[in-house]
């Protein structure tokens, strides 16, 4: 590997440009930038050969071919707690460490999940339109069929964010049960190993698992239909976790009551059918999207790179990554 003339380690910021990341890295590293896959391909062999760290600033994917461009790559510091856009198995084959940004966004995303649930069952968006269009002067908004009262929430996923959502539901006096592959340590809610069984026992699902192969279409037609006509689904996980076609069919046929979605199968493209439905509340993947939380996530992207190249352990390695002893 050729050393850079500055003596600093070379790192690449891959994805959307972010001042906090570029500025945070620039004092310590020689920083290169590639916004798209095309930019990445235009990096010279000499520079690519020097790059030892990559900061991923959005949902651009880090696959085997991308990593192959950088023979000296040691660490990929990825923005976001979800890392389904990073081929961690390919990284592991080459002993490349992958880090993510957990914890700093947990409460923010949980706020959005609860807000989305309430907005969905109590029809906030339609009620807002009712006021703006002047209809209130002609009579009151109809009583909502949906309510949190009498509802039981089945959490799909009971990790960091799932537990933060469950705490909010506790405060709202809404009973909680959950499904995950293994019972969560230190959690008192009833655990269902079988998702269909849980769906039969509740009327509401709040989905907050990782994306990727192990959860693809986990919430399928059978699960959706098991909720019954009062059923509500909130998804703040990844669009891939729900069978979107099955969800659209169930909403159209009124097999379930409503859905609140922050994530979609093919973002930013949201199916016309979903957009046309009156019983959906749709958000543009904004679970963590406040300035304070996104800044904290950016800072953690920077701090993971700084820690590793200062000879320390990475701060927040993903569980599957090979963390080398320091």
Distance between CA 175 and CA 152 in Å, rounded?
5
# of chain residues touching ligand 8YV (CB under 6 A): 10
Q: Does 261 bind ligand 8YV (CB under 6 A)?
A: no
Residue 238 is among the residues annotated as catalytic for this protein: yes
Residue 74 is among the residues annotated as catalytic for this protein: no
In the complex, what is the shortest distance from the CB of residue 122 to ligand NAP, in angstroms, rounded to a whole number? 21
Distance between CA 88 and CA 214 in Å, rounded?
14
Query: What residues line the site for ligand NAP (CB under 6 A)?
Result: 81-82, 102, 105, 109, 157-162, 180-182, 184, 208-211, 214-215, 218, 236-238, 262-263, 285, 287-288
- 188 in Cβ contact with 210 (< 8 Å): no
Distance between CA 301 and CA 101 in Å, rounded?
7
Nearer to ligand 8YV, 4 or 58 (CB): 58
Nearer to ligand 8YV, 79 or 178 (CB): 79
Stretch that binds ligand 8YV, among 37-45, 75-83, 227-235, 298-306 (CB under 6 A): 75-83
With CB under 5 to 8 Å by kind, the binding choice for 277 among ligand 8YV, ligand NAP, none is none
Nearer to ligand 8YV, 94 or 285 (CB): 285
Q: Does 58 bind ligand 8YV (CB under 6 A)?
A: yes
- 307 in Cβ contact with 315 (< 8 Å): yes
Which residues lie closer than 8 Å to 237 by C-beta, 6 or more apart? Answer: 82, 156, 157, 207, 208, 209, 210, 211, 215, 263
- Token readout for 219 is 């919430």
Distance between CA 267 and CA 239 in Å, rounded?
8
Residue 32 is among the residues annotated as catalytic for this protein: no
Q: Scanning the structure block, which residue is given the tokens 């957009």?
A: 275
Residues that bind ligand 8YV (CB under 6 A): 58-59, 79-82, 105, 285, 287-288
Catalytic annotation, residues: 238, 267, 285
């Amino acid at each position: 590997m050729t050393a850079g003339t500055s003596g600093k380690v070379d790192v690449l910021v891959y994805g959307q440009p972010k001042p906090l990341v570029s500025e945070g890295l620039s004092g310590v590293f020689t920083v290169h930038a590639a916004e798209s896959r095309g930019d990445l391909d235009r990096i010279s062999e000499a520079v690519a050969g020097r790059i030892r760290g990559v900061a991923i600033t959005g949902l651009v994917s880090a696959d085997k071919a991308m990593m192959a461009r950088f023979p000296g790559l040691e660490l990929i510091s990825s923005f976001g707690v979800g890392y389904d856009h990073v081929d961690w198995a390919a990284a592991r084959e080459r002993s490349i460490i992958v880090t993510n940004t957990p914890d700093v966004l947990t409460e923010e995303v949980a706020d959005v999940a609860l807000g989305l649930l309430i907005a969905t069952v109590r029809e906030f968006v339609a009620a807002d339109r009712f006021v703006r269009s002047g209809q209130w002067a002609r009579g009151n908004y109809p009583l909502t069929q949906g309510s949190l009262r009498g509802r039981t929430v089945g959490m799909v996923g009971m990790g960091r964010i799932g537990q933060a959502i469950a705490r909010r539901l506790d405060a709202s006096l809404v009973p909680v049960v959950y499904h995950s592959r293994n019972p969560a340590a230190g959690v008192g809610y009833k655990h269902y190993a079988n998702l269909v069984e849980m769906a039969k026992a509740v009327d509401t699902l709040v989905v907050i698992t990782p994306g990727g192969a192990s959860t693809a279409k986990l919430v399928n037609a059978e699960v959706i239909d098991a909720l019954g006509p009062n059923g509500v689904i909130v998804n703040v996980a990844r669009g891939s976790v729900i069978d979107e076609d099955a969800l659209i069919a169930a909403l159209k046929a009124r097999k379930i009551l409503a859905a609140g979605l922050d994530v979609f199968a093919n973002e930013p493209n949201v199916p016309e059918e979903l957009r046309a439905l009156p019983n959906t509340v749709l958000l543009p993947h904004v679970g963590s999207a406040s300035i304070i939380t996104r800044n904290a996530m950016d800072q953690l992207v920077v701090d993971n790179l700084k820690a590793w190249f200062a000879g320390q352990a990475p701060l927040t390695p993903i569980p599957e990554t090979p963390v080398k002893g320091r």
